[in-house]
């Protein structure tokens, strides 16, 4: 008889294969001194050089394969390795105190983590980055090889305590058929990554690495959050049938690719894909996307040591817009800062970067970076249906200033005889409470709103979802968030403007009935979620959902809202939460 571990379903279906235990070797070092400082400095330089080369390769793969949050962690590591002051600080420890290279790296890593441990926001990804970088540097200094999932030559299920983006970027999808971890939650970046890569995963099992031996036969049920150890032949037969049923269900959804997304009572909704890299266009099309609801332009700035030129940006944006014609492509202007550093842009350290010089604030303060991007966007607009979206707008003055820069660059291009589209929609993201409160005024000047549900929820509760101590406060279904969304939608519709939503809430089937009932016009989501959400919308009557919206906004907490939705929306019976 098999044993069963329970965890959190991370999507992707069902996988049956032997376990591949991704353990971490002992990289601990004690305080050690050296009589040969030059030798230790040379060892340090070698480890940095080798690590930089590795990270450049991993960075390219991360941007091609992983989502924004994951790729950012790899960028952070590369930025640290290339930053002279980080290496120089460690080298100073060796020279001044005659420490060995390994102990100096450990001491500096411990100091960095201790200094930043009390910060409330924005440091979860940085901690992951520095901890993972420490392992990589130490492995080269100590001559200990790290486990490398890219070397797998047979199908297997990765079992790990936790996984970093550098681990996942090295997965060969032909051989990694499932993932099980001790740590992780439904909104963790790891869970989001497994969903985007369509890998069956179960996270948050707590004890998987202690209970699963390398080579153990496993069944991973990424639909219900179960892991079966040493399954019986009967259980294997049962789950093979379930896997076949799941595959056929996904295949049957394929017919929706060539249809409009229409609710059961005839209302049309636009379902777009999130896009990070230009080469993801084909995947978006194949997934049934009716456009690109969010193209993250910072992808063109990441994973490199220099800023992209206007021409580089233009060529990349032109390809995206042309390839997606006649569908709309919404391109978000540069959104950096907070958890998204860029190696080519040196920014001062901030105590609270999520509330600092980021996103549109940064662009307006750096016209030498903003204006070339505006020109590239305008030049690309003649090749299809391009819309421009400014991120993290806090005030009307900010938005008007951004529109002014865009218009000034349009006039300059036209004066030179360079073509731009006659009409370009110019919208903004609603991510901060101030924008929600001022939505009625902002809607007079913005052509559309896109509600960034991740940041809006985070700022509503002043809780970083990556911080395990406060992550329980991050509740997208909480009445406070629902009221903010409804207020924003009503303000936009009063001015005849449309409203979209992006972030994890757009993928959440439990939220879909409420979002339809509140009047959301457009959804932008991970490609793997598009067809299931489109299918769900086809079963829902929007007008019948409006009483549910009213009751949900007047509930006491997210738990009540969740129970209300499950009890009142029969179409959700085939979805797993």
Cite the active site residues.
Answer: 189, 502
- What are the tokens at 391? 């991120």
Q: Taken in order 163, 164, 167, 170, is the CA torsion positive or negative?
A: positive
DSSP 8-state class, residue 185: -
* Phi-psi category of residue 325: left, alpha or beta, with phi > 0 → left and psi -120 to 50 → alpha: beta
Two structure tokens written together for 55: 């990270």
Structure tokens at 404: 């002014």
Q: DSSP of 163-215, one letter per residue?
A: --HHHHHT--TTTEEEEEESS--TTSHHHHHHHHTT--EEE--SSHHHH--TT
Rounded-to-10 torsion of CA 434, 437, 439, 444: -100
Question: Is 493:231 a contact under the CB 8 Å cutoff?
Answer: no
Work out whether the CA dihedral 567, 201, 286, 391 comes out positive or negative. positive
Taking alpha carbons only, the member of 464, 457, 565 closest to residue 504 is: 457
Q: How far is CA 452 from CA 214, 389, 476, 506, 575, in A?
A: 41, 12, 11, 9, 24
Question: In angstroms, rounded to a whole number, what is the distance separating the alpha carbons of residues 430 and 481?
Answer: 12
- For tokens 């960034």, what's the residue? 452
Is the sign of the CA dihedral 328, 331, 332, 335 positive or negative?
Answer: positive
Q: Are 99 and 32 in contact (CB under 8 A)?
A: yes
Q: Are 180 and 152 in contact (CB under 8 A)?
A: no
Contact 364, 401 (CB under 8 A): yes
């Amino acid at each position: 008889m098999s044993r069963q571990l329970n965890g959190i379903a991370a999507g992707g279906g069902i996988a049956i294969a032997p376990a591949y235990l991704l353990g971490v070797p002992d990289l601990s070092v004690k305080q050690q001194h050296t009589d040969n400082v030059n030798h230790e400095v040379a060892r340090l330089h070698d480890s940095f050089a080798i690590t930089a080369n590795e990270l450049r390769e991993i960075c390219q793969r991360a941007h091609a394969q992983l989502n924004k949050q994951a790729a950012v962690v790899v960028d952070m590591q590369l930025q640290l390795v290339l930053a002279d002051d980080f290496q120089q600080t460690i080298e100073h420890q060796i020279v001044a105190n005659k420490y060995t290279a390994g102990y100096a790296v450990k001491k500096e890593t411990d100091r960095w983590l201790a200094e930043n441990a009390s910060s409330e926001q924005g440091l979860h990804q940085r901690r992951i980055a520095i901890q993972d970088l420490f392992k990589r540097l130490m492995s080269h200094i100590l001559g200990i090889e790290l486990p490398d999932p890219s070397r797998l030559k047979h199908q297997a299920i990765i079992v790990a305590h936790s996984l970093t983006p550098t681990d996942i970027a090295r997965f060969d999808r032909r051989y990694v058929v499932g993932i099980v971890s001790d740590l992780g939650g439904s909104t963790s970046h790891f869970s989001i990554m497994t969903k985007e890569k369509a890998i069956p995963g179960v996270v948050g099992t707590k004890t998987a690495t202690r209970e699963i031996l390398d080579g153990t036969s496993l069944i991973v049920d990424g639909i219900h959050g179960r892991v079966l150890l040493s399954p019986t032949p009967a259980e294997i037969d049962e789950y093979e049938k379930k896997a076949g049923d799941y595959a056929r269900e996904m295949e049957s959804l394929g017919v929706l690719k060539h249809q409009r997304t229409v609710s059961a009572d005839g209302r049309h909704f636009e379902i777009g894909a999130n896009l990070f890299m230009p080469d993801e266009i084909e995947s978006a099309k194949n997934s049934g996307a009716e456009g690109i609801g969010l193209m993250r332009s910072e992808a063109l700035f990441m994973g490199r040591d220099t800023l992209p030129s206007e021409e580089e940006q233009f060529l990349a944006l032109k390809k995206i817009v042309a390839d997606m014609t006649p569908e709309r492509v919404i391109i978000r202007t540069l959104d950096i800062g907070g958890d998204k550093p860029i190696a080519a842009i040196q920014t001062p350290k901030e105590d609270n970067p999520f509330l600092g010089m980021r996103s549109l604030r940064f662009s307006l303060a750096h016209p030498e970076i903003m204006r070339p991007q505006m020109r590239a966007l305008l030049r690309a607009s003649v090749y299809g249906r391009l819309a421009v979206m400014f991120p993290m707008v806090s005030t009307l003055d900010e938005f008007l200033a951004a529109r002014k820069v865009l218009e000034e660059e349009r006039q300059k291009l036209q004066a030179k005889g360079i073509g731009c589209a006659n009409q370009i929609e110019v919208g903004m993201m609603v991510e901060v409470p101030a924008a929600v409160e001022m939505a009625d005024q902002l809607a007079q000047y913005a052509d559309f709103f896109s509600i960034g549900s991740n940041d809006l929820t985070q700022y509503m509760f002043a809780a970083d979802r990556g911080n395990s101590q406060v992550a329980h406060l991050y509740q997208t279904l909480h009445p406070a968030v629902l009221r903010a969304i409804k207020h924003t939608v009503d303000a936009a519709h009063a001015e005849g403007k449309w409203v979209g939503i992006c972030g994890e809430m757009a993928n959440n089937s439990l939220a879909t009935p409420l979002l339809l009932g509140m009047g959301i016009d457009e959804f932008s989501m991970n490609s793997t979620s598009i067809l299931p959400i489109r299918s769900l919308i086809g079963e829902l009557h929007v007008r019948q959902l409006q009483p549910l919206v009213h009751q949900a906004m007047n509930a006491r907490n997210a738990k009540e809202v969740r129970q209300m939705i499950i009890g009142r929306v029969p179409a959700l019976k085939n979805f797993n939460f």
